Amino acid sequence: MLDTVTRRADAEALDRADPLAARRAAFILPEGVIYLDGNSLGPVTHKAKARVAEAVATEWADGLIRSWNTAGWIDLPARVASRIAPLIGARPADIAVGDSTSVNLFKLLSAALDRAGGRKVILSEPGNFPTDLYVAEGIAELKGAELRLVEDVAAALDDRVAVVMVTQVDYRTGRKHDMAALTGKALEAGALVLWDLAHSAGAFPVDLTGADADFAIGCGYKYLNGGPGAPAFLWVAPRHQEAVSPLRGWFGHAAPFAFENHYRPAEGIRRFLNGTAPVLSMTALEAALEAYEGVDMAAVREKSAALCDLMIARVDATCGDLVTLASPREAALRGSQVSFRFPDGYAVMQALIARGVIGDFRAPDILRFGVTPLYTRYVDVFDAVEIMAEILTDRSWDQPQFHKRAAVT
């Protein structure tokens, strides 16, 4: 049990026994910083840093336009898809990489409504990530549909629901949906399901194929470590790939370099591509994903649960009377993060960052800590909680500089 880890030496012993410990060397992590915000932005890997520099210095500077062929730029989306596929339980042939999560959501929500047999309700949760809800609002207006927000999605399924749009892991609390169970209920009700994997892909095993899901989107800059604004991905079950995206870019054309005036969609998943791939960003993401080569995602999940359990146990022991656990206590019900509520959470997080512990704040009162098993150590979690307990106990967070809001919180 993780509540027996009461000394720093206990955490160090867990790190020595950790089968994933060697993976930390793949990442560039600043000295003196405990980074617990990989669920917002993953750190750079050594290989990504080197590959982007190489792409600029040789492929772009020397190869110029020739590099579309000589450096394989044209194949980047497919190569990145092949690295993402094993992390989400999918075939590379069913994944398109490019654009942002918002653009990909727009494409897939539109396609889902077109395939819904006249149903017009998009069903989601009021706590879903705001961008997803904003995109859904726009699609509903364009398509004459209704966005319906309910606390219990499964209970609200009826014969009017076209598509269920949910994020597998709640971005504030870390609460995790049972993908197979919810997908099964939606399919029984005749609805399609679109999963947002922003806080899932790379954090724990995902099995879209096994769950018989319809559509999914995910981002490249959180647990996949592709860099700020990294290309996102979408997944479409083979049974839906004859759908056509409302955004029809030339790389989704059957013959892009025929330069035809009329759009002819490519076969399969490639029709969901749009314009030119962002080569430098895609290069960074491809290289970053090498950190997952040969990794057993079951081991990632086991360590993730243990790290989160340790954080909860240590907070309970040191400052549990000062904060409220916002995440599920049971590991099976949460993703790879732990969140706590505190009325002045923003100021506490700024004080933590000033002490070298980087998590983040989510309004109105959430202190959010992401754990990434490839580089987060048990001793990182132990030390982070010790520092947080000090800050809360001595109220050192209550200083003017920590209350001043920055543009990005």
pLDDT digits (tens, 9 = 90+) for 147-192: 999 999 999 999 999 999 999 999 999 999 999 999 999 999 999 9
Indicate if 196 belongs to the active site: yes
Closest CA to 183 of 159, 214, 156: 214
Active site residue 329: no
Residue 2: is its pLDDT beyond 90? Answer: no
H/E element, 398:
none
pTM of the model: 0.96
- Strands 161-167, 146-149: pairing is unpaired
Percent of the chain with pLDDT strictly greater than 70: 100
Is 66 an annotated catalytic residue? no
Segment 271-277 shows an average pLDDT of 94
CA-wise closest residue to 181 among 213, 204, 150, 205: 213
Q: What are phi and psi of 176, to 5 degrees?
A: -115, 125
The active-site residue out of 222, 301, 314, 334 is 222
The Cα–Cα gap between 259 and 378 comes to 55
Q: Is 129 a catalytic residue?
A: yes
Closest among 20, 72, 2 to 295, alpha carbons compared: 20
What is the per-residue pLDDT across 185-231, written as a single tens digit (0 to 9) for each? 999 999 999 999 999 999 999 999 999 999 999 999 999 999 999 99
The active-site residue, picked from 106, 129, 340, 361, is 129
| C-alpha closest to that of 224 among 369, 41, 73, 95 | 41
Answer whether 288's CB lies under 8 Å from 226's CB: yes
Of 172, 270, 362, 368, the active-site residue reads 368
H-helix or E-strand spanning residue 191 = none
Mean pLDDT across 56-72? 98
Q: Any catalytic annotation for residue 342? A: no
Long-range contacts (CB closer than 8 Å, 24 or more residues apart) made by 258-264: none
Provide mean pLDDT across the span 313-328: 98
Q: What is the pLDDT, as a whole number, of residue 340?
A: 98
Instruction: Please give the pLDDT value at position 4.
Output: 81
Task: Say what the alpha-carbon torsion angle 97, 93, 293, 103 is, to the nearest 10 degrees.
Answer: 20
- Give yes or no for residue 266 having a pLDDT over 90: yes
Q: What is the reported pLDDT for 362? A: 97
E strands present in 189-296: 192-196, 215-218, 233-236
Average pLDDT over residues 1-9: 84
249, exposed or middle or buried, with CB in 10 Å at 0-12, 13-18, 19+?
A: middle
pLDDT score of 370:
98
Question: Average pLDDT for residues 377-387, to the nearest whole number?
Answer: 98
For residue 341, which phi and psi values (nearest 5 degrees)?
-100, 140
The counts of H helices and E strands in the chain are 13, 13
Architecture of domain 2-31+296-403: Alpha-Beta Complex (3.90)
Q: Percent of the chain scored above 90 by pLDDT?
A: 98
- pLDDT of 1 reads 60
Residue 233 in this model has a pLDDT that exceeds 90: yes
Q: How do the domains of the chain map onto residue ranges?
A: 2-31+296-403, 50-292
For the segment 284-296, the average pLDDT, to the nearest whole number, is 97
16 Cβ partners below 8 Å, 6+ apart?
Answer: none
Average pLDDT score over the chain: 97
Token couple for 307: 């790290």
User: Pick the catalytic residue: 196, 214, 360, 380?
Assistant: 196
Q: DSSP character for 56?
A: I
The encoded tokens of residue 343 equal 């009325």
Which of these is catalytic: 171, 221, 378, 402? 221
Same fold, 2-31+296-403 and 50-292: no
Architecture in CATH for domain 50-292: 3-Layer(aba) Sandwich (3.40)
Question: Tokens 């070298």 appear where?
Answer: 356
